[in-house]
Structure 1
């Protein structure tokens, strides 16, 4: 698992292949994907977090299906921190999920990236488009995954 300070611009330049982006939360995991050339991130689905599921078994099973379905060559997991870049309970949860993913699929590169304000950005964009964000939490989670994956993609292409 790569955690280069959990910033979007510190990893290697782009290598071809589809990635999945994950916005891990206490109730849901927003999932996004990009095309193999890394041009555009798009929403995929929202995975419900099973309360009391030790080791993320159900969530990892579904994510494994998505990795196969999308032929993903890597996963980008958002690392939520406070605005002052301090770790929170949500940070620990995202790290736990990324670690479980790495343990369960050691051949799949997993990278943690800073995701501060992605949910806020996604919610504002959806609200600006006339969507009722209170009733569409699943959509917000997917949109947050899109925002974080697109930022990661853009940072890789900037280093070409």
Structure 2
């Protein structure tokens, strides 16, 4: 079964999460550096986890508009499309508040390297949001009166 990859695109690091084979839960993976090997690393993830779809957080402003970071993310995705198999679907998900939610979650733990873990935890929230929407829409579609 294929899986879904979740990415939180940052200038220095990219948070990474992957779904289980059934598309129910998101699990964090180690972040990857946003450097000259970033597309190679994403391709490795696609191959190793049999990824069929990538969900990427789009950082909209509080007003729901695209700011500088959203434009950077879209530019990154355009470059990414040139480096991954063409059959991989890419979906944007509104990621407002995922970083602050990740920070609050990590503040409640005693883990070290919290800054580095925020990126992948944000990717988990992004991917889980998408998975929950999929599950809800499937349940709504399959529900009969």
- Provide the TM-score with structure 1 as the length reference: 0.81
Q: How many correspondences in the alignment?
A: 137
Tell me the residue number matched to 1:54: none
State yes or no: 1:26 paired with 2:26.
no
Q: Report the RMSD for the aligned CA atoms in angstroms.
A: 1.4
Instruction: Look up the SS of the partner of 2:16 in the other structure.
Output: strand
Q: Which runs of 4+ in 1 moved over 4 A?
A: none
Trace 1:75-114 onto structure 2 (pairs within 5 A): 75-105=54-84, 106-114=86-94
Tell me the residue number matched to 2:25: 40
Of 92, 104, 110, the match for 1:130? 110
Who wins on radius of gyration, i.e. which is larger? 2
Q: List gaps (5 residues or longer) in structure 2.
A: 139-145
Shift of 1:131: 3.7
- Provide the TM-score with structure 2 as the length reference: 0.88
Higher helix share: 2
Give me the whole-angstrom Cα distance separating, in 2, the residues matched to 1:36 and 1:28.
25
Tell me the residue number matched to 1:60: 39
State yes or no: 1:115 paired with 2:91.
no
Of 61, 74, 83, the match for 2:53? 74
Give me the whole-angstrom Cα distance separating, in 2, the residues matched to 1:156 and 1:27.
30
